[in-house]
């Protein structure tokens, strides 16, 4: 059974039209992450939550926002998608143990921007 679930699997939006991607987890993990992965590249961390504490990466554009209303859910909001934002977006969770930070990934949402 999937433990980190991302919806939708495929999302098409128009240039400049806000879009929200969702992630839910059944693992009760403290930490939730959002990564952007472009073709043939490594996942790039956008931000993560430790419980309700939000941690933004320094190079994450302001266009990307996140919400975590409760332990199970986390959302990625792209306020004004540009063509360069077309990518796979991966959600991941971890327990939050400092010594061994195993991350559990969802299947991803592939975003297309027209």
Partner 1 sequence: GENVEQHPSTLSVQEGDSAVIKCTYSDSASNYFPWYKQELGKGPQLIIDIRSNVGEKKDQRIAVTLNKTAKHFSLHITETQPEDSAVYFCAASMATGGFKTIFGAGTRLFVKA
- Of 7 and 101, the one with the shorter C-beta distance to partner 1 is 101
Q: HEC string of 32-67?
A: EEEEEECCCCCCEEEEEEECCEEEECCCCCCCEEEE
The answer to whether residue 100 forms part of the interface with partner 1 (CB under 8 A) is yes
- Of 41 and 80, the one with the shorter C-beta distance to partner 1 is 41
Instruction: Indicate the pairing of strand 87-94 with strand 73-78.
Output: unpaired
The piece of 13-21, 61-69, 73-81, 90-98 that touches partner 1 (CB under 8 A) is: 90-98
The answer to whether residue 96 forms part of the interface with partner 1 (CB under 8 A) is yes
Reported as half-sphere exposure (CB side, CA atoms, 13 A), residue 27 has a value of 22
**Residues at the contact surface with partner 1, assessed by CB under 8 A:** 4, 6, 31, 33, 40-43, 45, 48, 50, 55, 90, 92, 94, 96, 98-108
């Amino acid at each position: 059974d999937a433990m980190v679930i991302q919806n939708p699997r495929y999302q098409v939006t128009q240039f400049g039209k806000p879009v929200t991607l969702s992630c839910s987890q059944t693992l009760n993990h403290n930490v939730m992450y959002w990564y952007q992965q472009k073709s043939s590249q490594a996942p790039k961390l956008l931000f993560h939550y430790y419980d309700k504490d939000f941690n933004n990466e320094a190079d994450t554009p302001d266009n990307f926002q996140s919400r975590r209303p409760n332990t199970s859910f986390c959302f990625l909001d792209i306020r004004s998608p540009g063509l360069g934002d077309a990518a796979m977006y991966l959600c991941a969770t971890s327990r939050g143990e400092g010594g061994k930070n195993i991350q559990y990934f969802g299947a991803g949402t592939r975003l297309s921007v027209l």
